Each structure stands twice: as C-alpha cells, then as structure tokens.
Chain A
Amino acid sequence: MTANSLISLAADLNSGRIRVVDLTQTLAPEFPQIVLPPEFGQCWPFRIEEISRYDERGSAWYWNNFSCGEHTGTHFDAPVHWVSGRELPNNSTDTLPVEHLVGAACVIDCSAEARADPDFLLTAEHVRRWEALHGRIAPRSWVLMRTDWSKRTDPVAYQNFDDTGQHTPGPATDAVRFLIEERDVVGFGSEAIGTDAGQGYHLKPPYPCHYYMHGAGRYGLQCLTNLDLLPPTGAVIFCAPLKIKNGSGSPIRALALVPA
C-alpha cells in the first residue's frame, strides 16, 4: 500500500497531476538579511566569490565559493536557535528527526490584513476562523502564514524599517500558544524576514514565536515565497536544512507538492 502510494505519487508528478512549487527566495547578495543593532553580532548576508570561470584560475570549469549565515535567505530555524530550546534533545540541524521535515501544510491567508497593516498580528481568533472554513489543523502540520510579503521585491520595502524598527507581519502570542498547545503543529512559516513580527520585540514575551515554538521543540521557516500558489490545505512541504553539526538553522530549498 505504501509502496503503491509512492509509485502513484511519482506517476502524478510525471503527469503533472501534482505540481512542485518552489517556496524559496534566490540566494543573492542583494537579498537582505536580518538586522540587529550594530553592537550585536550580525548574520552574514549571502556573498559569492568566483574561484574560476574557464580562465587562468581554472581553464575548463566555473565555480564559486559562497558565504552566508545559518539564517540567510529562505531558511530553517531549529529549536536550539532560541534560548528556550537550548536544553531540548535533538534540537539542532544534525540531530532533529528528519520525518519532521516533510509534512502537510495549512496556509492561512493574511494577505489582505498585511496589506492594510504591516504590523498585522495573526491571533488565535484568526486561526479559529480559518479552521471554521477549512477544517481543524491536523497534528504535526506545518502552519504557513501567507502575507504576500515576498512580493515586495524591493529590499527596502521588504525590510520596511522606520525609526522605530521593522514593520512586518507575524503571529501574536496567543496564536503561537494555540498552535502548539492545542493543535500540536510541527512548525510555523512566514514570508517576512523572521517568524516573529517586525515589532515582535515588544510583545510578551519578546519574539513569542521563537520563544514558544523552539521551547516546545518546534521549527520555524522564514523568507518563504509563492505561498499564494498553495491551497489552504492539501499541500505537502519539504524543508530540510543542511546537516550542520550543532547547527541552529540553515538556508533551505523549500518545496511544496500541490494538487494540480
């Protein structure tokens, strides 16, 4: 039965009955990285240096060295990323259970709200309203917050800073706790630069999505794109981080399987 369903999956992929959607932003030097106050340590942006390009440095081959942080571009947050998850077992990119990295996705469309208010917070009440339309979120699902924020291709608009900091949408504290404690989700994904809202530092606790998700051994995905191509339910996502020893996260190639 299991073997048959995999064979039929392959057939559906070949025939186009199941499409693969790329949820990943291109890793490029101009893509912005998370900004911390300048006295803190900083995440590296993506950088790339040519090793050779069919030239005197290597006549028949083209290749590059690249550098970036664990949290550069479309990336995965492991529980060890946050202080609340530091003591958990199997909390880093090399030890976490790989079965968590493939799973069903519930996509909550907040694009209208985020368009109206860059500081929009997704509350537990919003999630319940979504469930009333699309059904109860199944245990071990990924919950993805669609905001169409990824359509802000200008880095300035994407980062959206003013002199009080960043203004990007994210989840409210009660939604995070609801998703973990009452729905047992495996992780939360966002289109903005972090899983928490730009003003998440001022919530209780600061950065509630990082605090509670990682404290409960759950994961985060950020800088996702193309969430508007996913159905509210019925998609399966793949979001494996690189197997970095004691890694707190990693850039990923996030993919989704969706019915055509």
Chain B
Amino acid sequence: MIPPLLRPRRKNPILRTRLPLLPPWARSRAALGLTAAAAIGRFELQVCAACGSVQYPPREACQRCLSGSLRWREQPGLGELISTTTVHHSHDLFFRERVPWQLGMILLDAGPTVVAHLHGGCAPPPSRVRVGARLDKSGQGVLLAFPIDEVPNMADDRQLREMTCDPKFRKVLVTDGKTAVGQAVVRSIIAAGADLVWVGYAEPWKKLPGLAALEALPQTALLPLDLTDSRSVKQIAAEIGGRVDILINTAEVHRAHGIASRSGVEVARAEMDVNYFGLLRLAQEFGPAMRARGADGPSNATAWVNLLSIYALSNYPPHGTFSASKAAALSLSQCLRAEMRPGGVRVINVFPGPIDDEWNQLLPPPKLSPEALAKAVVKALQDGVEDVYPGDVAQEWLARWEESPKTLEREVSI
C-alpha cells in the first residue's frame, strides 16, 4: 500500500532549509547509454549484435561472446523479483537522509539479473515486476522496479518521487499565459494537482482572449512578466522566485520567415529576445533560488520546462529565423541543465512540431493542439524525463534526425 501524498504542511520558517544533495553520479561512458534512454523515457540495455545476449551492467564487450558490437535497445523490462533489501544505514550523504530505502534484485525475462530501486507497490518476492529506467536526482539513469499492475497512489511512492517532478501540491510559474499553449498548460497543471499557478503576461494593454477566464480560477495568480525586460524578470523573481517549484517557460515569439522573405533583422531579433535572451534572463533570476531549494521538503523546487521546437534540431527554412532562435535556446538550456543539476532540479525540453496556432496557419495538418502539448508537459513532469517530442511530426523528425541529421536537413529544405 502506498499512502497517498497529503498536502504538505506549511514549512516551519525558523528551521534551516535542507541543502540539495545528489546520489552517486559517476558513470562510465558506456553506462551513459542508460541515462540517454531514460532521458527520453525509455528503458534500454545493450544487446550484442553478434550473439543477441542482453547485457547488464553496461560494458564495452559482450559478456558472453566478447564481441564489441553492443547496441542500446529498448527493453520490455518484465521479470521476477528475486529478493529485496532495505537499507537502514548509508555513508552516502544523499541516501543517509532518505533511509530506509528499498532495493530489489530482479531476474529479467530478457536474461540478466539487475539491481534496482524498488517501488513500494511491488509484492514481496517472488513476484512479477516491470523494470523501468528513470533519471535520479543527479540526472543519471537508474533502474526502478514497478508492480505489473497499477496500484493506488502509484505516483506518490516516496522513492519514485525522488525521480519525478510531479506537479501535485506544487507551485508553478507559467511565464506567458496569453497564448493558447500557455493557457492550456495552466489548465493541465491545475488538473494535475498544482496548488498555485502564477501566470505571467506581458503588454497588458494588448487584450487577448482567455486570460480573464484563467484569472477566475482559484489556483491562479496573474503577474505582469515581460521576458524582454530584465527589470521585469528581476522584479518578479524577487517577489516569487523563492517559492517557485516548477517553472514552465511558454513565452515565445514565432514568425514564419526565412532569410529572404523578410528584410532586416527586427523580426529575428524579436524572436531571439524572447526565445533566447528571455530564457537567459529567467535562468539568471530564477535559477539560483530554485537550485538552492532542490531539497526543500516535499514541495521542493523540482523542474524547469522549456517550450522549444522540433526545428531546434534542424532548421525549417520557411520558419528559418524562428528555428535559429530555438536552436540557440536549446544550446542555452543544456548549459542551464548543467548548472541546475547540482540542485537536483530537472531541466525538461519540449520539442513540439507545428502547433495548431495562428503562426502555423499555412502549414498542413497534423498540427499539435495546445491541449495535447500541455498534456505532454504534465506527463514529462510526472515521468521525470528530460526531452519530450510530442506529436506525430516531432516523432517523425526525431527518428529521421537520429538516423541522419544531414538527410533530414536536405529533406526539409526542399
């Protein structure tokens, strides 16, 4: 039985805030394959191209035939829980604060026996379990054994919550509530149990539909926030930065221009000012407080979400300057991820294909609805992944990009 997560008590303000710690993060280059897969929500192990045996732990050569051709392949993760161990004492600072901690040994149907963190819903051994990969607080891939069937309060498991960024009972900042995507994200995050959602809006004199309806929700608070204005970002960070558990940056400028279709640099600059410099301003002002609150009780600072674009991977020339600004944002988000990691705060990049909005009016379907995008954001938080490619177009681009970036570049530039 997993006890349901109850609304955390208010923090005792005279007690020192616990500093973030990380579980052991050192990995060999080979072992980072597990992390790379877990970052996009997959459980992969190395499979020998010569003899087909599944490897664990990650290694350089096949444990059976010594072939060096090991390929990371997605695993179903089904297996039998053979034994469990409850750790009551640890010299590791991270686990020392979190004991008792449950581990299990699982014989995977695919062959190897693995040691994994154990979800509290698993039946005692011997029992069937499903092993999945998750990112731990250090951002590295680890294995976690789940019960085969859904159990009540599955997401509330104490050990699982160390690896996810569930919005339940958390306080969230959505940086731009004027767009359809921003508004859908606000509604989805509230539906997922967020306690409070601050909704940023710039240029209040430009009245756009939907914002008033958001303001009427009991969980929201509207805030004037303009990512092009350093003083505005600094001001809002000073007001609420120490309370934001999840930051979702939905602000973007998107115009459908390449180089030749628009003379001058003003449109490109406006895109960069929000999509790139806006992220930089947010990161400088909100990053430090969030990083420091990575272990601040059950409602700690836990995640930072960037709305990027699949065009960040490869330039889509009809929307060329927008693509470039998103590529810049992707690069900066990698820096942010590295800088947030010591605080245990996950940086999640969302790479949608074309969203069904006014700036993609001339693109044919399939286009991602703002609601579907918002659901993908919430799921990414609940799963604790780093990179999300929601929708058919994004999945297609990703597959082609993984196969050959150069081929994709040529394909989309015709």
Chain A residues proximal to chain B, CB less than 8 Å? 29-30, 32, 35, 39, 41-42, 45, 47-50, 155-156, 158-163
B264 located at the interface, meaning its Cβ lies under 8 Å from any Cβ of chain A in the complex = yes
Q: By the criterion CB–CB under 8 Å, are B229 and A29 in contact? A: yes
Q: By the criterion CB–CB under 8 Å, are A42 and B230 in contact? A: no
Q: Can you report 8 A-B residue pairs in the complex whose CB atoms are below 8 A from each other?
A: A29-B226, A41-B264, A45-B228, A49-B230, A50-B230, A155-B204, A158-B205, A162-B207
Q: By the criterion CB–CB under 8 Å, are A161 and B205 in contact? A: yes
Residues of B within 8 A of A156 (CB): 204-205
8 Å CB interface, B203-232 against A: 203-207, 224, 226, 228-232
A234 to B230 Cα, complex, angstroms: 43
A39 to B362 Cα, complex, angstroms: 14
B266 located at the interface, meaning its Cβ lies under 8 Å from any Cβ of chain A in the complex = yes
Q: By the criterion CB–CB under 8 Å, are B267 and A41 in contact? A: yes
A160 to B230 Cα, complex, angstroms: 26
Residues of B within 8 A of A163 (CB): 207
B332 located at the interface, meaning its Cβ lies under 8 Å from any Cβ of chain A in the complex = no
A42 to B206 Cα, complex, angstroms: 14
B22 located at the interface, meaning its Cβ lies under 8 Å from any Cβ of chain A in the complex = no
Q: By the criterion CB–CB under 8 Å, are B232 and A161 in contact? A: no
Chain B residues proximal to chain A, CB less than 8 Å? 203-207, 224, 226, 228-232, 255, 264, 266-267, 270
Q: By the criterion CB–CB under 8 Å, are A35 and B264 in contact? A: no
- In the complex, the chain A residue whose C-beta lies closest to that of B266 is A41
Q: Contacts A41-B264, A41-B266, A42-B266 hold; do A159 and B228 have CB atoms under 8 A apart?
A: no
Residues of A within 8 A of B230 (CB): 47-50
A42 to B269 Cα, complex, angstroms: 11
| Residue in B205, B231, B232 with the greatest tally of chain A CB atoms within 10 Å | B205
| Residue in B203, B255, B270 with the greatest tally of chain A CB atoms within 10 Å | B203
Min CB–CB distance B264 → chain A (angstroms):
7
- In the complex, the chain B residue whose C-beta lies closest to that of A48 is B231
A29 to B230 Cα, complex, angstroms: 9
A47 to B206 Cα, complex, angstroms: 18
Going nearest first, the 4 A-B pairs with the smallest beta carbon separation are A159-B205, A29-B229, A156-B205, A156-B204
Residues of B within 8 A of A158 (CB): 205
Q: By the criterion CB–CB under 8 Å, are A161 and B207 in contact? A: yes
- Please tell me which one of the listed residues A29, A35, A160, A162 contacts residue B231 in the complex, with CB atoms under 8 A apart: A29
Q: By the criterion CB–CB under 8 Å, are A32 and B266 in contact? A: no
Extra pairs beyond A29-B231, A39-B255, A48-B230 (14, CB < 8 Å) = A29-B229, A30-B229, A32-B203, A32-B205, A35-B203, A41-B264, A41-B266, A41-B267, A48-B231, A49-B230, A50-B230, A155-B205, A161-B205, A161-B206
- Please tell me which one of the listed residues B203, B229, B267 contacts residue A47 in the complex, with CB atoms under 8 A apart: B229
A45 to B229 Cα, complex, angstroms: 9
A158 to B207 Cα, complex, angstroms: 13
Min CB–CB distance A173 → chain B (angstroms):
26
Residues of B within 8 A of A48 (CB): 230-231
Q: By the criterion CB–CB under 8 Å, are B266 and A35 in contact? A: no
- In the complex, the chain A residue whose C-beta lies closest to that of B273 is A47
Q: Contacts A41-B267, A42-B270 hold; do A47 and B228 have CB atoms under 8 A apart?
A: yes
Residues of B within 8 A of A32 (CB): 203, 205
A42 to B268 Cα, complex, angstroms: 12
A158 to B204 Cα, complex, angstroms: 11
Min CB–CB distance A55 → chain B (angstroms):
14
- In the complex, the chain B residue whose C-beta lies closest to that of A35 is B206
Residues of A within 8 A of B270 (CB): 42
A156 to B224 Cα, complex, angstroms: 12
Min CB–CB distance B48 → chain A (angstroms):
54
A155 to B202 Cα, complex, angstroms: 12
Residues of A within 8 A of B207 (CB): 161-163
Residues of B within 8 A of A39 (CB): 255
A49 to B224 Cα, complex, angstroms: 19
A26 to B206 Cα, complex, angstroms: 21
Residues of B within 8 A of A41 (CB): 264, 266-267
Min CB–CB distance B24 → chain A (angstroms):
35
A29 to B205 Cα, complex, angstroms: 14
Residues of A within 8 A of B229 (CB): 29-30, 45, 47
| Residue in A29, A155, A160, A163 with the greatest tally of chain B CB atoms within 10 Å | A29
Min CB–CB distance B231 → chain A (angstroms):
6
- Please tell me which one of the listed residues B232, B255, B264, B267 contacts residue A29 in the complex, with CB atoms under 8 A apart: B232
A49 to B273 Cα, complex, angstroms: 13
A45 to B226 Cα, complex, angstroms: 11
- In the complex, the chain A residue whose C-beta lies closest to that of B224 is A30
A177 to B255 Cα, complex, angstroms: 39
A41 to B266 Cα, complex, angstroms: 7
Residues of B within 8 A of A161 (CB): 205-207
Residues of B within 8 A of A42 (CB): 266, 270
Min CB–CB distance B225 → chain A (angstroms):
12
Residues of B within 8 A of A49 (CB): 230
Residues of A within 8 A of B231 (CB): 29, 48
Residues of B within 8 A of A30 (CB): 224, 229, 232
Residues of A within 8 A of B205 (CB): 32, 35, 155-156, 158-161
Residues of A within 8 A of B232 (CB): 29-30
Min CB–CB distance A45 → chain B (angstroms):
7
- In the complex, the chain A residue whose C-beta lies closest to that of B209 is A163
Min CB–CB distance A184 → chain B (angstroms):
36
A252 to B341 Cα, complex, angstroms: 48
Residues of A within 8 A of B255 (CB): 39
Min CB–CB distance B100 → chain A (angstroms):
46
A47 to B278 Cα, complex, angstroms: 13
Min CB–CB distance B29 → chain A (angstroms):
37
